[in-house]
C-alpha cells in the first residue's frame, strides 16, 4: 500500500446529545478513489466539514500526509492541498466562471492580495483558469455570469474551483447531486480522468457509480464507520445489506 494522503484518528463530534462522529478512522492512500456511502443523516457531510475545518472535532486528529492539520484554519488546509466541493452549489453568482476560477488560481499562486496590477496582466493565471474550464467543457460559457449557467455546468464549476487550488486530496460531496442520471456518469468520467496524483474521497448515493469508480468503499451509519472494504466485499456484506441497502429500500 502506498503512503497515506489523508487519515483521521479517532475523530469525535457531537451536537449536544446527538453524536455525529464516533471514533472515525479513515486511511486514504495517495492516488486512490474512495467512496463514502451511508443513509441520509449518517454524518457524511459532517465528516467532510470536520476534515476541512469548517467544524472543530471534539476529539481526535486529522493528518494530511504526515502533517497534523487538526487545528489549522480551513483556508490553510486548502493551501496544503486538502480541498472540498459542496453538495449544494456554493459558487459566486455574479462572477463569470472565468473570473471565479481565475480568483481561485490567484489565491493559490499568492497573487490575490496584489492590488495594483490589472487582472488581465496576470496572463499565466488566466490561461491556467481557462485551461481548467476547457478541460471540464466549460470553455465556451466561461464569460457568462455563474448564475446564468445551467445547473449541470454549475456542478462542473464546483469541481473547476476545487481543481484550481491544485489539490492533493479532493473531498467531493455528492458531486452529481441533482444532475440527471444519464449525465452523472459523464461527470464521474471527468472525475475518474483526474490526475492519478490526486486522492479522492467522494460521497455518492448512486450505487452503480460507487461500484464503478471507487477502489474502496466506506459505509457510514449513525456517525460511525460500519464497514470499510473493497466493492466486492461491500456488495457481499450482510450488515451493509441490512443497514444501508435495507433502509434505502424503505426510503
Partner 1 sequence: MPAPSSLVPPQQFLAKQVRWHPLEIVFWIATLLPFYFFPSYLSLASQIAIAALFALSLDLILGYAGIVSLGHAAFFGVGAYAAGLFSKFVWGEPFSGLIVAAVLAGVVGYATSFIIAKFRHLTLIMLTLGIGLLLLEGANSASWLTGGADGLQGIDIWPLFNTFDFDLWGYTAYTYSLIALFVIFVATRRLIHSPFGLSLRGIRENSVRMPAIGAPSEAHIRKVYTISAVMAGIAGALIAQTTSTVSLESLSFERSADVLVMVVLGGAGRLYGGIVGSIIFLVARDQFSGINPQYWLFWIGLLLVLVVMFLPNGILGGLARIKLFQRGKA
Binding site for partner 1 (CB under 8 A): 52, 54, 73-75, 78-79, 83-84, 86, 90-95, 98-100, 102-104, 106-108, 111-120, 122-123, 125-127, 129-130, 142-143, 161-162, 164-165
Nearer to partner 1, 82 or 225 (CB): 82
Pairing of strands 169-173, 33-37: unpaired
d(CA 16, CA 19): 8
Pairing relationship of beta strands 199-203 and 59-64 according to DSSP bridges: unpaired
Burial 138-151 (b: 16+ CB within 10 A, else e): beebbeeebeebee
Which CB atom, from 133 or from 209, has the smaller least distance to partner 1? 133
Burial class (CB in 10 A: 0-12, 13-18, 19+), 199: buried
Q: Give 27 or 89: the residue with its C-beta nearer to partner 1.
A: 89
Smallest gap from residue 169 Cβ to partner 1 (A):
13
3-state secondary structure of 81: coil
Nearest distance, CB of residue 95 and partner 1, angstroms: 6
Residues 128 and 105: their CA atoms lie apart, in Å, by: 8
| Nearest distance, CB of residue 162 and partner 1, angstroms | 8
Nearest distance from C-beta of residue 192 to partner 1, angstroms: 23
**Whose Cβ is closer to partner 1: residue 135's or residue 247's?**
135
Amino acid at each position: 500500500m502506498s503512503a497515506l494522503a489523508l487519515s483521521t484518528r479517532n475523530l469525535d463530534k457531537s451536537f449536544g446529545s446527538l453524536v455525529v462522529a464516533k471514533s472515525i478512522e479513515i486511511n486514504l492512500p495517495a492516488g486512490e478513489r474512495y467512496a463514502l456511502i451511508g443513509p441520509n443523516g449518517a454524518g457524511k457531510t459532517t465528516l467532510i466539514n470536520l476534515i476541512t475545518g469548517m467544524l472543530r472535532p471534539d476529539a481526535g486528529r486529522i493528518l494530511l500526509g504526515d502533517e497534523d492539520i487538526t487545528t489549522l484554519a480551513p483556508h490553510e488546509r486548502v493551501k496544503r492541498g486538502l480541498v472540498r466541493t459542496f453538495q449544494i452549489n456554493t459558487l459566486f453568482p455574479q462572477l463569470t466562471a472565468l473570473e471565479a476560477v481565475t480568483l481561485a488560481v490567484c489565491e493559490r499562486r499568492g497573487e490575490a492580495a496584489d492590488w495594483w496590477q490589472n487582472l488581465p496582466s496576470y496572463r499565466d493565471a488566466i490561461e491556467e483558469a481557462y485551461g481548467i474550464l476547457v478541460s471540464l467543457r466549460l470553455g465556451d460559457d466561461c464569460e457568462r455570469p455563474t448564475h446564468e449557467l445551467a445547473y449541470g455546468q454549475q456542478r462542473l464549476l464546483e469541481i473547476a474551483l476545487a481543481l484550481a487550488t491544485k489539490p492533493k486530496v479532493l473531498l467531493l460531496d455528492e458531486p452529481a447531486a441533482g444532475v440527471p442520471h444519464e449525465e452523472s456518469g459523464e461527470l464521474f468520467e471527468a472525475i475518474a480522468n483526474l490526475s492519478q496524483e490526486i486522492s479522492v474521497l467522494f460521497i455518492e448515493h448512486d450505487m452503480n457509480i460507487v461500484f464503478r469508480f471507487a477502489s474502496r468503499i466506506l459505509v457510514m451509519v449513525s456517525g460511525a464507520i460500519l464497514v470499510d472494504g473493497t466493492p466486492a466485499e461491500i456488495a457481499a456484506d450482510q450488515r451493509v445489506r441490512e443497514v444501508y441497502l435495507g433502509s434505502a429500500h424503505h426510503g
